Amino acid sequence: MIGAILDRMRDARRRRVWDRDLASGRRGEDLAHRYLRSEGFIIVARNYRLASGEAEADLIARDGEDLVIVEVKTRETAEYGPPERAVSADKQRHLIRVGREYARKTDTPWEHVRFDVVSVVMAPPGITLLRGAFRTH
């Protein structure tokens, strides 16, 4: 009986943390979207997912003649380091797959595809744009 009550309490706490993290990520994407627009980017897609569902890009934008695949990393604080450190090699491979598909669909030459990371820290507030955050070869 007590075990079941404790399990329900733990599950409720996990759901609150999960919901908070999702809301924080969405807020970060909204802030990144506005920031990029203020920097002259044209946002052409949000949460673009491959048909297979295996990879997703938070934002896809145009910056001049470049197609920019954008990963947004959001953290409440930078206490444990900058958010962009969380863009792993696996995530980079997924973003490259998204970039290849989107470039092919839009007839964009590969040399005009760039991968940026937008780092959003909520407190103290700050947004950092890392242009060309990683190489594709």
Does residue 16 lie in a domain region? yes
Using alpha carbons, list the distances in angstroms from residue 62 to 27, 37, 58, 68.
21, 10, 14, 6
3 residue type, one letter: G
Q: What's the CA gap between 118 and 131, in Å, rounded?
A: 9
Does residue 48 lie in a domain region? yes
Does residue 137 lie in a domain region? no
Encode pLDDT of 13-44 as tens digits: 655 544 444 467 889 999 999 999 999 999 99
Does residue 135 lie in a domain region? no
Give residue 22's pLDDT: 46
**Mean pLDDT, the chain, whole residue set:** 89
Asked which of 9-18, 27-36, 64-73, 80-89 is least confident by mean pLDDT, the reply is: 9-18
CATH number where 49 lies: 3.40.1350.10
Cα angle at 15 between 14 and 16, to 5 degrees? 90
Q: What's the CA gap between 98 and 56, in Å, rounded?
A: 7
Helices (H), 39-88: none
Give residue 17's pLDDT: 47
- Domain span at residue 29 reads 2-130
Encode pLDDT of 118-132 as tens digits: 999 999 999 999 999
